[in-house]
Structure 1
Amino acid sequence: MRHEKINNLLELEQATLPWFVNEYIHSKSLVPYSTVTLYEYAKEYRRFFEWLQEESITSSVQSVTLEDLDRLRKEDLELYKSHLMHGPKNGTSTDNRSRSFVTVQRTLTALRSLFNYLSTQTEDENNQTYLKQNVMLKIENVRATTTLQERSRAIEKKLLLDDEAILFLYYIDQDYEGTLKSHQAIAAFRRNKIRDLAIIALFLGTGMRLSELVNMQVSDLDTVNLEATVIRKGGFKDTALISSLFIDYIIDYQESRVTLYQPEASQKALFLTTFKGKAKQIEPSTVEKLVAKYSTAFKVRITPHKLRHTVGTQLYKKTNSLLTVSHQLGQTGTSATSIYTHIVDKEQRNAMNDLWSE
């Protein structure tokens, strides 16, 4: 159901976009890029074209031409970048707040991918690429306003390190119900307790992303070999090892799934919820809410992504290997995992404490 929803949303975006952008989207769907990624990229292109319209560079989103893009200069893109960095964020619950550098960088990444395609991977009737130049090559990435060490300290406060991860699951299993006041809340907790424990156990036992967990099928879970098959960012299939420490919670749900939610035989999604008396694939927002609910009661409100950071940090502490961490988390390189070295770098802290001692 969620795949159909994202596909429909992507089609709606594509209906507003020029033909060459739709050609790009089709090309990347064959790589394959995930539908979610293509949908997010399509939104970025629409927003960029809307800005071009506001700046009177073009008359409408759909009327943007390749000639319009070829005429763009570095100062035009720098102006748009400045608009992203300093203009108010509208259309969300955080209206009028500034965008984060991560959000701005995502926009630049999407535009860079489109311009690269149009200037290097296309061919018109004269065997020439659609664009003569790639103006995005002249646009630098945005830089974080905080150091890696500052970011790691902020993240560390929201991680469940050492035995806290185990205690968190124990808290949900044994103590959380005692904090509930109403019979309705207690009944809802009991109805989904086994599933919720399995979801958090799978996050803490693998470090997988929210989208990877939500999109898992029943056949993707191999509790005998302690493995989970997931579709990573970019659409490639990968195997995530599951820590034996958390496997019992996952097996409990695996054995109870049909009894708890009574899905139709055609429903292959691993994690389910009930909607109007019928089992359906769980939504990412539902998972985010349950993680927030339990973590707030236990320690501090966290997200599924912080559970992923927890696994990355703990694995680096055990192995001292960024390569091992990147393999487990399904990352194509080690640059994204370097933040974990700062989180666990106690040697630097100890050295500073002893700096002036004899």
Structure 2
Amino acid sequence: MALAYHEELDKKNTLKLRKLQKDLPAFCNAFFRGIDQITASRTKIAYAYDLKVFFTYLMEELKLHDSIEQFTISDVENCSIPELEEYMEYLKYRTKKKKNADGEMETVDILNHNKSIKRKISSLKSFYNYLYKAGLISSNKASLLSLPKLSQEEIIRMDQGEIAEFLDEVENGNQLSKKEREFHEKNNVRDLAMMQLMLGTGIRVSECVGLNLSDLDFNNNGIRIHRKGGKNVTIYFSDEVESGLRAYLEERKLKIPASGHEEALFLSIQNKRISVRSVEKMVKKYAGRVTPLKHITPHKLRSSYGTNLYQETGDIYLVADVLGHSDVNTTKKHYAALEEERRRSVRNVVRLRKEEGES
């Protein structure tokens, strides 16, 4: 199953987290141990990055210590609410020194929008909340911080006409450059199978690249995937998707997978398991020819599927289940505009009084 792929990914993330923790105060290790069983590895890595920004603020702006390693829990507890609010201001715009291409240090500007600020403050709240519940600090001042409000973003997706054009481009590559067509001739069957699968099931790009040959079940037209949170589920695909997968499998039989990648369903040109980054580039290449103004990503393919499913069924709970949303409110938030459109469309369905001559 794809589980082996995700276990390997978790292993790499765990090693990366351990490396990041070395740049944080030693007492932060208790936080990461405390959340280990309830937090995804990628989320913990994001926490580590965000906490480093926080301690950098305390060091550079409040001049508390000369290095991050010198901080203690008392420093965290003694931060006042105004200082935490100043941190939110600091996040909007700050500078950072980094090496350029010539190996020289230079100052770069970092501008964060509300979405990024909200994530970093949420990380800080989780950190303070753990320390407070564990009895390591006597008060949780971060809980009093207000998160920035985010404007409701329009769902970027492809309509059915654009999806058809997109798949035509994946299949034929008519608008690709000469160099791109050379690669296209070698990979178009694989690319079409992947794009049809993602557009036809709404699976995440990480779920797609993590598929193994054994995860395919043509008897029931289903694939077994490893969801976020560790849950394994079966997702069903259409006859059109099946056709693309079977065509790719015939081609895959002619390939010799690299060592350690024998079970991977989708192989790269090097005959290794294809990476998330490669799929992101693939989608960008094809979508850029068909919908250049929409900036379509693998996640937007997922949004396109969710939109089409909701428009066809009107069942927000079904959409939430198929997309793997643990909370239907997450789905409702993303498809609120479509719900409003459906409510408006039925305004004349119920008639209070019939017109003369109607039975």
TM-score (norm 2): 0.80
Unaligned runs of 5+ in 1: 123-128, 353-358
> What's the counterpart of residue 249 of structure 1?
244
1:26 to 10, 28, 33: 33
> What's the counterpart of residue 281 of structure 2?
289
In structure 1, C-alpha distance between the alignment counterparts of 2:290 and 2:26, rounded to whole Å:
51
Secondary structure at 1:289's aligned position in 2? Answer: helix
Task: Work out whether 1:40 is the aligned partner of 2:46.
Answer: yes
Unaligned runs of 5+ in 2: 1-7, 101-107, 348-359
2:123 to 80, 96, 110: 110
Q: 1:258 to 1:8 in 2, by over 3 A?
A: farther
Identical pairs, percent: 28
Secondary structure at 1:213's aligned position in 2? Answer: helix
> What's the counterpart of residue 322 of structure 1?
316
Q: CA deviation at 1:308?
A: 1.2
Q: CA deviation at 1:229?
A: 2.9
In structure 1, C-alpha distance between the alignment counterparts of 2:263 and 2:85, rounded to whole Å:
47
The correspondence of residues 64-213 of structure 1 with structure 2, limited to 5 A, is 64-87=71-94, 96=109, 98-120=111-133, 122=134, 129-144=135-150, 146=151, 148=152, 151-152=153-154, 155=155, 158-174=156-172, 176=173, 178-182=174-178, 184-213=179-208
Secondary structure at 2:23's aligned position in 1? Answer: coil
How many corresponding residue pairs?
329
**Native 8 Å contact 1:119 1:131 kept in 2:** yes
**Native 8 Å contact 2:157 2:301 kept in 1:** yes
Q: 1:43 to 1:341 in 2, by over 3 A?
A: same
In structure 2, C-alpha distance between the alignment counterparts of 1:235 and 1:52, rounded to whole Å:
36
TM-score (norm 1): 0.81
**Native 8 Å contact 1:9 1:39 kept in 2:** yes
| Range with greater deviation from structure 2 (303-312 or 60-69) | 60-69
| Range with greater deviation from structure 2 (13-22 or 216-225) | 216-225
In structure 2, C-alpha distance between the alignment counterparts of 1:221 and 1:29, rounded to whole Å:
31
> What's the counterpart of residue 53 of structure 1?
59
Secondary structure at 1:208's aligned position in 2? Answer: coil
Q: CA deviation at 1:258?
A: 4.2
> What's the counterpart of residue 304 of structure 1?
298
Secondary structure at 2:64's aligned position in 1? Answer: coil
In structure 1, C-alpha distance between the alignment counterparts of 2:183 and 2:199, rounded to whole Å:
23
| Structure 1 counterpart of 2:122, one-letter code | T
Q: CA deviation at 1:195?
A: 1.8
Q: 1:49 to 1:230 in 2, by over 3 A?
A: farther
| Range with greater deviation from structure 2 (339-348 or 219-228) | 339-348
Deviations 1:49-77 (A, max 9, x none): 11111122344222221111111222222
In structure 1, C-alpha distance between the alignment counterparts of 2:322 and 2:98, rounded to whole Å:
36
Secondary structure at 1:273's aligned position in 2? Answer: coil
In structure 2, C-alpha distance between the alignment counterparts of 1:88 and 1:327, rounded to whole Å:
43
Q: 1:73 to 1:345 in 2, by over 3 A?
A: same
Q: CA deviation at 1:288?
A: 0.8
Q: CA deviation at 1:22?
A: 2.1
Q: CA deviation at 1:303?
A: 0.6
The correspondence of residues 208-357 of structure 1 with structure 2, limited to 5 A, is 208-260=203-255, 262-264=257-259, 267-275=262-270, 279-300=271-292, 301-337=295-331, 338-343=333-338, 345-346=340-341
**Of the two, which has the highest radius of gyration?**
2
In structure 2, C-alpha distance between the alignment counterparts of 1:217 and 1:187, rounded to whole Å:
27
Secondary structure at 2:111's aligned position in 1? Answer: coil
Q: CA deviation at 1:138?
A: 0.5
Q: CA deviation at 1:13?
A: 0.4
**Native 8 Å contact 1:89 1:98 kept in 2:** no
Secondary structure at 1:240's aligned position in 2? Answer: strand
Deviations 1:111-140 (A, max 9, x none): 2222222221x3xxxxxx112222221112
In structure 2, C-alpha distance between the alignment counterparts of 1:267 and 1:109, rounded to whole Å:
41
Q: Please, what is the CA RMSD of the aligned residues?
A: 3.0
| Structure 2 counterpart of 1:111, one-letter code | L
